[in-house]
Amino acid sequence: MKHIGRTASDRLPVLLLLLLWLGVAGVASAHGPTIEVSHSELKPKLLNLFVGTTVHFSNTVEMPGGHVIVDASGTIKSPPLIKPGDGWHYTFEKEGAFEIYIEQHPEAKTRIVVVPKR
């Protein structure tokens, strides 16, 4: 009995770490949609968001020099995303329509429409 009690308390820190990790993962996935970046496209090609939403851009392919995410109005510019798994995020604080594309592949674009919170 004594031995079982000791084993359970030994596992407590591991359980706490697991709960902490699940909590952090929950926050990360709740912050907004992800756009996948490749040589040929930004996926999805259309997104409707509320003001204040953070969009994550996730690079899926190796790109010498990196993919730079920009928008037609010149307000958005990411650092180069070079390796698969390289990511960047942007929070849309203003309403409007944003035409976003990859600087190196202008045909790879997405349209993001941001509307006020109700």
Using rule CB under 5 A, residue 39 touches Cu ion: yes
Using rule CB under 5 A, residue 42 touches Cu ion: no
Using rule CB under 5 A, residue 11 touches Cu ion: no
Instruction: Give Cβ neighbours of residue 6 (< 8 Å, ≥ 6 apart).
Output: none
Among 37, 47, 63, 81, binds Cu ion (CB under 5 A): 63
Alpha helices in the chain (DSSP H): 2-30
Choose among 76, 81, 31: nearest CA to 57: 81
**Nearer of residues 11 and 39 to Cu ion, judged by Cβ:** 39
Q: Which stretch binds Cu ion (CB under 5 A): 13-21, 55-63, 89-97, 109-117?
A: 55-63
Instruction: Give Cβ neighbours of residue 78 (< 8 Å, ≥ 6 apart).
Output: 57, 67, 68, 69, 70, 88, 90
Using rule CB under 5 A, residue 69 touches Cu ion: no
- Point out which residues bind Cu ion (CB under 5 A): 39, 63
